[in-house]
Amino acid sequence: MPLLPFKKEIAARLSALTGMTAEEAETTLEIPPDSALGEYAFPCFHLARRLKKPPQAIAAELAGQFAGLTSAYLERVEQAGPYLNFFVRPAYLFQELLPQILREGPSYGTLDEGAGRTVLVDYSAPNIAKPFSVGHLRSTVIGNALCRLYRACGYKVVGINHLGDWGTQFGKLIVAYRRFGEPALLADDPVHYLYRLYVRFHQEAEKAPELEDEARQWFRRLETGDREARELWQHFRDLSLENFQRLYRCLGISFDSYMGESDYNDQLEATIELARQRGLVKESEGALVADLEGHGLPSCLLRKKDGAALYITRDLAAAIYRHKTYAFHRMLYVVGAEQTLHFQQLFKLLELLGFDWAANCVHVPFGLIHFKDGRMSTRQGKVIFLEEVLERAVELAREIIEEKNPSLEEKDAVARAVGLGAVIFGDLINDRIKDVEFDWEKVLDFAGETAPYIQYSHARICSILRRAAAAKELPDPQPAALLPEAEEKTLIIALGRFSEEINRAVRDNRPSYVARYLLELARSFNRFYHNCPVLTAAEELRKGRLMLVAAVRIVLQNGLALLGIEAPQEM
RNA sequence: GCACCUGUAGCUCAGGGGAGAGAGCACCGGAUUCCUAAUCCGGGUGCCGCAGGUUCGAAUCCUGCCAGGUGCACCA
């Protein structure tokens, strides 16, 4: 816990001197805009108000009280106008922190604040019988990163893939398959063929609206357990799931549960009954409605007039089941921002049903992926398949390898890591709430603020370490000499902030913080690399720098792993 | 009509109420007898959408407006 103890120590001392609580002091501490101003800064404006003295005077006074005070962490304190700047002791950085990172290796950066707590993450949730489009990438990639981040904070994480395997679209699919379907084509390329049927259905239904009714009837038959409907559904489901799992394997993602919408069919009536007992339900035009108007939300339907339950009824049943099963401390729904209202209604209903844990349910929304000229639409066939995106990215990575490093071994594995990394990182780097315009050029860009940039930095370090090992020199987790250059200090400070970034990412459910941090770290490393030779440096310096780059490698690898991205040793 | 989200450099975006608003891309120029040039260095641009307000201090918080996106009862 690298720089955190330093921060806590400052907060404690400030608390003793000012009468603020330690927590208050800690949250007031900030990171100065320039590293020449120290590692943490304390602005005195708040105190100025309380003490009715100019902030400069308070800063000067406090600086006086800190004068001569040092500790294992603290080197010195300086006043700069209304600020108090704290400088960490370099000996701590190089002789304690650095060896610590090497010792902890893969577990460096992890925390234990979540120990004993369970977090559920509901993510990905593709619709069976529709191909996996780039639109589904977001939930999948963000959800996976959140799972890993929470685990790194000590939580027990349960990843749930709430498969979209129920609903009227299966009626449509059954109608289309019975009318136009050919088993041989289905067997050949199931998911794409089902997709073509789905698109075909909507084209035909334009001309013949009665198809929609027929679809509703077939869905009704499915709900009542009709054998033919059931068998077709099961068949479509199996084929799709197989296809999705191939994709997940490729992305290195696994789920703890694949319980989907269809798995709650037997709990829907009980859920509606519960709502009825609580007096939340009224009848309207033959349908059952949950009245939320008194709570500032539009009412929502729990059951259609034809007796079929709806999305929100299923989500209610699922939430109740999950709490019973996992007793979670928090449940995240990584679902698009267009469903914000749905989740407001869902959480409000859970609360009104008397579940106090409703407050621990969180919607983690993200923006839409769209084309320049409008949104993607599965029905109209206006989609880009994730498979195609991943294949092209890997292919391009492969071409670049061929051009830049033709003698590389394991070209395929590296191309996969780089191509997939670029796509995943491209999704995680920006604030998830923003909409994304799909652009092949951007997806296939491997320079600048990208995963390959970080991976390349990692590979360079591996190369240094390989050469050092060949010369029988290995980084040794012993106290090192102090490293003199500014680039070196910048680097090690960055290493020390790793767990703070993980913490922040978990606090806001925003993996982008870690992605940005890694970019910054890689940038610092590349500057170091250009200005500070490692292997040709003199004995002591070489030892220290070897440790430093070994530590950077650990953080880059651990950080990329948190985002679900591999770090190849060469590229 | 109502609600939510977004608006920062030519483009894509960072920016934790605080110290002169930052990156990447694109464009121009430079760096390799030396650890991988998928790298590094230099070059410049901003009514932080607009108008008010809160504050010692606002790109950041509040209100209104404008623009774009997304939702709002029998889809999921």
- In this prediction, residue A248 carries a pLDDT of 96
A491/B33 CA-to-C1' distance in Å: 29
A118-165+254-370, what's its fold? Answer: Rossmann fold (3.40.50)
Report residues 310-329 of A contacting strand B, contact meaning Cβ closer than 7 Å: 310-311, 314
Per-residue flag: A32 CB under 7 A of strand B: yes
- Give the span between the Cα atoms of A65 and A67, in whole angstroms: 5
Give whole-number Cα distances, A350 to A65, A87, A107, A160, A290, in Å. Answer: 54, 49, 38, 19, 11
A534-539 long-range CB contacts below 8 Å, 24 or more apart? A534/A464, A534/A468, A535/A464, A535/A467, A535/A468, A535/A471
- In this prediction, residue A378 carries a pLDDT of 79
A547/B70 CA-to-C1' distance in Å: 50
Q: What's the token pair of residue A187?
A: 């067997």
Whether the Cβ atoms of residue A96 and residue A495 lie closer than 8 Å to each other:
no
* Stretch (H or E) spanning A438: none
Q: Return the closest nucleotide (C1') to the Cα of A365.
A: B5
pLDDT digit string (tens) for A159-214?
999 999 998 889 999 999 999 999 999 988 888 898 889 888 988 888 888 888 89
Mean pLDDT in chain A? 92
A212/B67 CA-to-C1' distance in Å: 38
- Give the span between the Cα atoms of A365 and A339, in whole angstroms: 8
Residue type, A354: G
Chain centroid to CA A253: 12
- Give the span between the Cα atoms of A123 and A129, in whole angstroms: 18
Whether the Cβ atoms of residue A502 and residue A512 lie closer than 8 Å to each other:
no
- Give the span between the Cα atoms of A144 and A339, in whole angstroms: 20
On the question of pLDDT at A235 being above 90, the answer is yes
pLDDT digit string (tens) for A518-557?
999 999 999 999 999 999 999 889 999 999 999 999 999 9
pLDDT digit string (tens) for A337-356?
999 999 999 999 999 999 99
Would you place residue A365 in the very low, low, confident or very high pLDDT band (cuts 50, 70, 90)? Answer: very high
A53/B62 CA-to-C1' distance in Å: 28
- In this prediction, residue A72 carries a pLDDT of 86
- In this prediction, residue A212 carries a pLDDT of 87
CB-based contacts of A344, cutoff 8 Å, min separation 6: A297, A363
A519/B50 CA-to-C1' distance in Å: 35
A142/B62 CA-to-C1' distance in Å: 32
Would you place residue A67 in the very low, low, confident or very high pLDDT band (cuts 50, 70, 90)? Answer: confident
Per-residue flag: A285 CB under 7 A of strand B: yes
CB-based contacts of A225, cutoff 8 Å, min separation 6: none
Per-residue flag: A34 CB under 7 A of strand B: yes
- Do domains A3-88 and A392-562 share one topology? The answer is no
For residues A487-516, one letter each, b for 16 or more C-beta atoms within 10 angstroms of the residue's C-beta and e for the rest, the string is bbbbbbbbbbbbbbbbbebbeebbbbbbbb
Least confident of A280-294, A304-318, A373-387, A527-541: A373-387
What are the DSSP calls for A85-136, one per residue?
EEEE-HHHIIIIIHHHHHHHGGGTT---TTTT-EEEEE---PBTTS--BHHH
Residue A47: what are its φ and ψ, rounded to 5°? -65, -35
> Which nucleotides in chain B lie less than 7 Å from some protein C-beta?
4-6, 12-16, 18-20, 22-26, 34-41, 56-57, 69-76
Q: Return the closest nucleotide (C1') to the Cα of A308.
A: B74
What are the DSSP calls for A253-278, one per residue?
---SB---GGGGGGGHHHHHHHHHHT
- In this prediction, residue A374 carries a pLDDT of 80
The alpha-helical segments, DSSP class H, found in A289-410 are 311-326, 340-352, 386-404
Which of residues A205 and A362 earns the better pLDDT score? A362
On the question of pLDDT at A431 being above 70, the answer is yes
Beta bridge partners of residue A436, listed in sequence order: A369
Report residues 74-103 of A contacting strand B, contact meaning Cβ closer than 7 Å: 80-83, 85
Whether the Cβ atoms of residue A550 and residue A465 lie closer than 8 Å to each other:
yes
Per-residue flag: A526 CB under 7 A of strand B: yes
- In this prediction, residue A167 carries a pLDDT of 84
Q: State the average pLDDT over residues A375-404.
A: 90
Q: Return the closest nucleotide (C1') to the Cα of A536.
A: B35
- In this prediction, residue A220 carries a pLDDT of 86
Pick the CATH number of A392-562 from 1.20.1050.10, 1.10.730.10, 3.40.50.2300, 3.40.630.30: 1.10.730.10
Report residues 530-569 of A contacting strand B, contact meaning Cβ closer than 7 Å: 530, 532-536
- Give the span between the Cα atoms of A352 and A237, in whole angstroms: 35
Which of residues A474 and A265 earns the better pLDDT score? A265
Q: State the average pLDDT over residues A126-149.
A: 92
pLDDT digit string (tens) for A35-52?
888 999 999 988 888 888
- In this prediction, residue A164 carries a pLDDT of 93
Report residues 423-482 of A contacting strand B, contact meaning Cβ closer than 7 Å: 429-431, 433-437, 442, 445-449, 452-453, 456, 459-460, 462-464, 467
> Hey, how many other C-beta atoms are within 10 angstroms of the C-beta on A209?
9
- In this prediction, residue A480 carries a pLDDT of 79
A3-88, what's its fold? Answer: Gyrase A; domain 2 (3.30.1360)
- The residue behind tokens 């709650």 is A264
Q: State the average pLDDT over residues A76-95.
A: 92
Can you give A464-503 as a three-state secondary structure string?
A: HHHHHHHCCCCCCCCCCCCCCCHHHHHHHHHHHCHHHHHH
First to last CA, chain A: 31
Whether the Cβ atoms of residue A459 and residue A571 lie closer than 8 Å to each other:
yes
- Could you tell me the residue ranges of all domains in chain A? 3-88, 118-165+254-370, 168-249, 392-562
- Give the span between the Cα atoms of A112 and A349, in whole angstroms: 33
Would you place residue A1 in the very low, low, confident or very high pLDDT band (cuts 50, 70, 90)? Answer: very low
- In this prediction, residue A299 carries a pLDDT of 93
On the question of pLDDT at A261 being above 90, the answer is yes
Per-residue flag: A63 CB under 7 A of strand B: no
